[in-house]
Structure 1
Amino acid sequence: MRKKLWTISAVMLFAVMTLSACTGTSSVRHRNTNTETSTAVNADKSTGVIRKIDKDTNNIVIYSVDDGTKTIYSYDKGTTAYTKSGNVMSFDKLSCGDIVDIECNNTNQKIKKISISSRNKVWENTKVTNFKVDESTMTMKIGQSLYSYSDSTFVFSDGEEIDISELNSEDRLIVRGYDTSVCSVVVDKGHGYVTLSGDQLFTGGYVDIGGRVVKVIEEGMLLIVQEGSYKIEVRNGKYVADKQITVTRDEKTVADFSDVAPIVTETGNVRINVNVSEAVLTVDGAVMSANEVLTLAAGKHTIKVSADGYSDYSTQIEVDKGYKTIDVTLKAAADDETSKETKSETQTETETATTDSSGNVVSQKNKVTVSGPEGGYIYFDGKYMGTAPVTFALVTGEHVISVLYNKQINSYTVNLSEGGDDVKYDFTSK
């Protein structure tokens, strides 16, 4: 009798241990949640977020939106699922990240009914692209709304669980939550990576990927782009070439221009950034768009910028091969008159600080060190920094660190600020 009980217990333990992710048998990455499994359900109704569905064992793992309790339910082929409005749907339509209402048998925790939650305060935002995650405060801003998240907030990409830091501004998300808390994030449209090859003729010019990503071409650069098909164009002065590429989620696409004959043009490219959105830009008397890449004939051009309430700006520029960025800061008319009458004899620390092209401060004392994975290729905002361990200057603001290691690329969003200790990262265990 004792041997029989031991056999039954071992089988049950094996079933629990082999519970897999939504895709079947693959293990969950990046998260180790210690919330205890519920062994007794006090009520036969509950609401929670789906973390795992195991079609081999017919088990489904739910985390309560009320207290984060983990419960493993069972189901069978006859279990029916319902939409939020109460219509019958296939059980296979359920997926990780869904928030569901459960009715079950208290005795064996077998699901009687499961439906997309219609509970008050449960919400869903789709096609989310305007978001920002702050790991220091464990908050997520979607548009103008601020939500909190916790260790029981699960993030999924292609059915696999990922760390929230792996989300990228190029991603499109489905975000679900309860009240002011985020319960799950599903990457609806993810990002991949693009590198250039055979681009020596275009180094120093710029690359434009479907209008989504426009960057100055640097040796060894890595570009993060939303998955999809694009026309990629490279320009450098009078040389221009383009081709079609397809970017696949989490994979690297090499755009090789060695087999593309460049078209020779007598033009150059310039982007004129103006700090006043309603300003009018003219180039040689013709009205053109500010804050966009312009293709102009090679040679000298006169630009003028004007806006109501601001002093006019005028200068001459030289357009040749390569890509230029010109920043124009219009001054309020009253401030400009004052500055003409009196000149300050001192400069503020901000005025003398080194800044990058986005206006972020490049620290003169703080450094960032990426120690692992050792030997991994490290990119900072797409710029190759070296192999780990590698140290470089801290640049304030939100940035993306990408790691290429063992033919796999992962990206992590970080927020950096100046004034404290040097920042150190080790992505070995990520």
Structure 2
Amino acid sequence: MNKNVFFNIIYKAVSVMMIVVISVSGLVGCGSKKTSSVIPGSSILPAPTKSITDAPVNAKTNEITIEGVLSSLDKDAKKMRFVENSSGIEYEVPYTGGTDIQTKYGTKIAPSNMKPGEIYEVTCDKKGTALTIYGAKDAWERTGITGLDFDESTRKITIGSTNLVYAQKSVILSDNEKISISQIVKQDTVILRGVDSTVYSIVVDVGHGYIKFTGVSAFEGGYASIGKSQLVGVTDNMLVTAATGTYDLELDAGTMSGKKTVTVEKNKETTVDFSEYKLPVDEQGAVNFKVTPSNAVMTIDGEEVDYTEPVMLKFGSHVLTLAANYYEAYTETFTVSSAYSTKVIDMTSKSASTKSSSSSTTAASTSGYKVNVTAPAGAALYVDSVYVGIVPCSFEKKSGTKTITLTQNGYNTISYSISIANSSGDLNYAFPDMTKKE
């Protein structure tokens, strides 16, 4: 399906999706808890398309003038489309070989050198043919932006100490095709363009793909480094969103380590298998636990253990839990891969947790609530590269920006960024239907 058509379908179906979200919210909820429904990408509305002749004509000059973002260019038909900054209307503008096209610095350029996402001042005769198309002098451009942090509830973009807002009908592009703003993830490199403190276009300059890790049981509980840009914990069935490019992958879990090279292609999933790395099946290691408080009850793989002396465990991953009065419960998955190791754990006292909560509302606001993902049904859900389950399913609510990745056999893997507010109540997300692989 053409991406432009897909983009329009998303927004035309907004009202239908809202009904779907509300109607299925009971599938994976928390009883009568407060809930709210979110449609990713709905902070930007589709721009209505009109002919430039529908725009107002200046009575003095008998010309039509607009300032807006170049959203598409059809060189064969000699037509361009601009989303006007002030009205949010997308105007179709025909041009000719005689149309004067210049950059904001006065350099003449051909239509082929114009880039969708750039902001132009367009002047047409009253019949609608473009006379001049000049780069907007009041527009700015910021390139090489990574880790874009945006909040759809406020349309706010934060870059370091700079706060911007994006227009309700901003142009969001990837490979010159319109996408939803929620499809931009922190691994993408983008170009922002705007006027004053308002962003009118966001263009994905360097996109992302996916690394599927298999055969990593020997490294579970350890870490995976992807080049110099990412460090993630190793879990079973992990799928990592990464910027396009070639990377050295290094997996490390104590004495066990492995290294491979991977090339990530845009919107494609690359599988890297580490199954040749295996821990000796019958080999054991002694783990010396130093726990605070010393009277905490420890279970390993569901069985209570006495850790006053080193505990003998088979090589591989194990699930550890600790419980003690006046302390927060502790859970961790760790890997045994050496003959002897020491593990130090300091549990958090509930009094310290209460003090921390009083100084930060994050835990108090989101604690006990869930994020419910209800669509697309049957897709595998990953949150920040960690497998959660098959949709519909839920995960623990924590404030901040999360990368949601959806994958399903026969469909294109896709990621979304969601911004979870520091507030109480369950959240319900219904993502658009996935597109079938060509």
State, as a whole percentage, how many aligned pairs show the same letter. Answer: 26
| In structure 1, distance between residues paired with 2:419 and 2:233 | 23
Are residues 1:372 and 2:369 paired? no
Given that 1:194 and 1:247 are in contact with CA atoms closer than 8 Å, whether structure 2 keeps it comes out as yes
Aligned to 1:164: 181
Are residues 1:76 and 2:96 paired? yes
CA drift of 1:362 comes to 9.8
Given that 1:30 and 1:162 are in contact with CA atoms closer than 8 Å, whether structure 2 keeps it comes out as no
Aligned to 2:146: 129
User: Which residue of the other structure, out of 414, 417, 424, is the alignment partner of 1:413?
Assistant: 417
| In structure 2, distance between residues paired with 1:230 and 1:68 | 41
| In structure 1, distance between residues paired with 2:249 and 2:108 | 45
Aligned to 1:218: 235
Q: Which has the higher contact order (CA 8 A, sep 6+)?
A: 2
| In structure 1, distance between residues paired with 2:423 and 2:125 | 57
Given that 2:150 and 2:419 are in contact with CA atoms closer than 8 Å, whether structure 1 keeps it comes out as no
| In structure 2, distance between residues paired with 1:135 and 1:27 | 17
Aligned to 1:139: 156
Give deviations 1:31-66, integer Å, cap 9, x for gaps. 562536251441433211112223343221112223
Given that 1:61 and 1:71 are in contact with CA atoms closer than 8 Å, whether structure 2 keeps it comes out as yes
CA drift of 1:187 comes to 0.6
User: Which residue of the other structure, out of 189, 195, 201, is the alignment partner of 1:184?
Assistant: 201
Counterpart amino acid of 1:35? P
Residues 348/201 of structure 1: CA separation in 2 closer, same or farther (3 Å cut): closer
Tell me the TM-score normalised to structure 1 length: 0.68
Please identify, of 28-37 and 146-155, the stretch whose mean Cα deviation from structure 2 is larger.
Answer: 28-37
Give deviations 1:4-51, integer Å, cap 9, x for gaps. xxxxxxxxxxxxxxxx989xx997664562536251441433211112
Residues 54/195 of structure 1: CA separation in 2 closer, same or farther (3 Å cut): same
| In structure 1, distance between residues paired with 2:194 and 2:345 | 42
User: Which residue of the other structure, out of 50, 56, 64, is the alignment partner of 2:84?
Assistant: 64
Given that 2:380 and 2:407 are in contact with CA atoms closer than 8 Å, whether structure 1 keeps it comes out as yes
Given that 2:7 and 2:180 are in contact with CA atoms closer than 8 Å, whether structure 1 keeps it comes out as no
Aligned to 1:396: 399
Q: Please report the RMSD computed on the Cα atoms of aligned residues, expressed in angstroms.
A: 3.5
Given that 1:28 and 1:160 are in contact with CA atoms closer than 8 Å, whether structure 2 keeps it comes out as no
Tell me the TM-score normalised to structure 2 length: 0.67
Aligned to 2:57: 42
Residues 326/105 of structure 1: CA separation in 2 closer, same or farther (3 Å cut): farther
| In structure 2, distance between residues paired with 1:66 and 1:237 | 58
| In structure 2, distance between residues paired with 1:197 and 1:421 | 36
CA drift of 1:181 comes to 0.9
| In structure 2, distance between residues paired with 1:50 and 1:367 | 41
Counterpart amino acid of 1:413? S
Give deviations 1:253-297, integer Å, cap 9, x for gaps. 1112346799xxxxxxxxxxxxxxxxxxxxxxxxxxxxxxxxxxx
CA drift of 1:380 comes to 1.1
Counterpart amino acid of 1:186? V
| In structure 2, distance between residues paired with 1:110 and 1:29 | 30
The gaps in structure 1 that reach 5 residues or longer are: 1-19, 263-318, 329-343
2:112 partner SS? helix
Aligned to 1:255: 272
2:182 partner SS? helix
CA drift of 1:379 comes to 0.8
User: Which residue of the other structure, out of 129, 135, 154, is the alignment partner of 1:116?
Assistant: 135
1:150 partner SS? strand
User: Which residue of the other structure, out of 229, 245, 255, is the alignment partner of 1:228?
Assistant: 245
| In structure 2, distance between residues paired with 1:228 and 1:321 | 32
